[in-house]
Each structure stands twice: as structure tokens, then as C-alpha cells.
Amino acid sequence: MFEVMFGNKSVEKILIFLFVNSRCYGTQLHRVFNTSLTPLQKVLIRLEKGGLICSHYEGKTRIYRFNPSFPLLSDLEQLLKKAFTLLPAHEKKLYYLGSESSGFNRGNSVKNLSTLLEFWEKLSSVKKLSFAAHSKSKENSEWNRRGTGEVSVAKTSSNILLFNEKGLWKGKDSQDVSFTNIFRWTLDRISGVISLEHLRYGIENPVFLFHLAPSTMHSLSSIDSHLYDGDSYFGQAFFDRYNLKLNWRIIGPNKNEEIEYCYS
């Protein structure tokens, strides 16, 4: 798509990956795209010399991000968002960071099921939530908000949980605004996934969000890019002994958002 403009397919891959994930490093791109490392490194160096991206070290790993001082960054991000929305669904999934580790125990159904059931138990005991949402687009700052609330969990069957969420978030002028949500979690032991649906239109008309499958011993990642009303939804969940975090990424014609839920 951008190859005509930039003369290099790797530039397109790197820029879209950065748009979706905010950061990257060379060997990560090499694994995700199954492409030779050296050409990718050369492109990263060229983009940094041109001022489009910048880098820093975390340990021995060189991390790249968009340069916030680049004068055309907002325009470029709008172009990248448009390019991403035009990609086929199977290609969109490739650019999401969670895809890098999905299927970590592929072929080991016992370990996968153990992670799945441990996560399910954490879901069953949730009582509170906090969340932070922000738009990565300067034009949609109304998405920048934080909130807290209570969660009432109803177990309607051995493999279905309903989350009834109520709370407050800070709106414009720091005013408290009430919110309510109903989510349905469904455990599928045979397929090895947990699905998440939003019941905004009632229990008979669920909005499917994504399937989550084990990606590490203590995390799950969406296994596909789900499209709803033109928007792509991705998700990652992380859990430990005390907390459960659910990160959302939503990209669409009018959206470029990140949401982090913390359940306890």
C-alpha cells in the first residue's frame, strides 16, 4: 500500500506496527513478519536519521517509537489508521503485539487448559474495577478518562459469567459521570478459549469482542482481529495472584483508542 510512496515494503510494515503498538525493536519485527533482520534494522536506522522515529535502550534492547516532535506526525498517523482499516482481517491480526506470543504452548493442551482455568477462577472472584482510557488521536481527547466501580459477578452456568459493572468516571471539567456495563464471559474448554461479549443491546443481542487464548503462563491474547461497525478490536489479559488486567486496542475510521481495565 505504501510501497509506491516509500519504495520499500519494510517501511510500510514498520510504520503500521508502530501505529498499532506504539513501540518496537528489530528482532521483534523479524519474528513477527518472518523477514530478514538486517533489512529491517537498516530501515529503522534510516527512519531515525530522518527524524520520524526515535530510540532508547532498555537493557541491551534498542526500542523505537514515533518521534513526537516530527512535524507531520499527526497527518501520518491519520494515513496509517486509514491504511490499517483497509487491511484484510487476517493481516490486521499480524500487526497486533499479542500475536507474537499467541500459542506459546501450542500442542500442550494440558498447560493451556491450566492457564485458562486459572484465569477463569480469577474472573469468578472479581469485585472491583478501575480503568484508564485514552485516545491516541489528538482530535478525540474526550476519550481520555479514568474511572472506578464495583462488579457483580453472576455465574449463569458452569461456563458463563456475567459482569454487571457500575461506577463513576471523570468527564469534562472533572465532573463525575456514572456508567454501567454488562459483559459476558464464556469458557470453551474444548477449543481452549474464553470469549468476551458486550451486552449493550441486551442479552439476546450481544456484541462479540474477541476470543482470548493462553499466550504465556499468566496471560491471554485475542486470537483474531474482530470487526464491529468498521472498528477492529484486540485484547490482552494479564493476571497474577492479586489482580487481573485487560488491555483493549480499538482502531477504526473514527477511533484510535487504548483502554486498560484492572479487576480485583
How many residues are given for the chain? 264
CA distance 224 to 89: 8
Fold classified for 3-86 = Arc Repressor Mutant, subunit A (1.10.10)
Query: Which pLDDT does position 82 carry in this prediction?
Result: 82
Report which listed range, 86-90, 95-99, 109-113, is most confident.
109-113
Check: CB of residue 210 under 8 Å from CB of residue 196.
yes
Q: Find the distance separating the first CA and the last CA of the chain, reported in whole Å.
A: 43
Pairing of strands 53-58, 231-239: unpaired
Share the mean pLDDT of the chain.
85
Q: How far apart are CA 104 and CA 101, in angstroms?
A: 6
Q: What is the pTM of this model?
A: 0.71
Identity of residue 89 = A
- Is 122 in contact with 239 (CB distance < 8 Å)? yes
List pLDDT tens digits, range 162-216: 999 999 998 767 788 999 999 999 999 988 899 999 998 999 999 888 889 898 8
Q: What is the pLDDT of residues 123-158, one digit of tens each?
A: 999 999 999 988 876 655 566 889 999 999 999 999
Mean pLDDT of 22-36: 89
Residue ranges with strand state E in the chain:
53-58, 61-66, 128-135, 145-157, 160-170, 176-188, 193-198, 207-216, 219-222, 226-228, 231-239, 244-252, 255-263
- Cell 530478514 locates to 36
Report pLDDT for 143. Answer: 67
- Report, as an integer, the average pLDDT of 108-112: 72
Same fold, 3-86 and 106-263: no
The mean-pLDDT minimum among 43-52, 79-88, 92-101 falls in: 92-101
In the DSSP assignment, the letter for residue 22 is S
Question: Contact, 96 vs 222, CB < 8 A?
Answer: yes
Domain ranges of the chain: 3-86, 106-263
Beta bridge partners, 148, equal: 130, 168
CA distance 196 to 10: 34
Query: Cα–Cα distance between 8 and 3 in angstroms, integer?
Result: 5
CATH code for residues 106-263? 2.40.128
Cell of 216: 504465556
Encode pLDDT of 211-246 as tens digits: 898 988 899 988 765 666 777 888 889 999 888 999
Q: What is the pLDDT of residue 136?
A: 72
State the Cα–Cα distance between residues 71 and 11, nearest whole angstrom: 19
Give CA separation, 192 vs 115, 173, 189, 213, in Å.
Answer: 10, 45, 5, 6
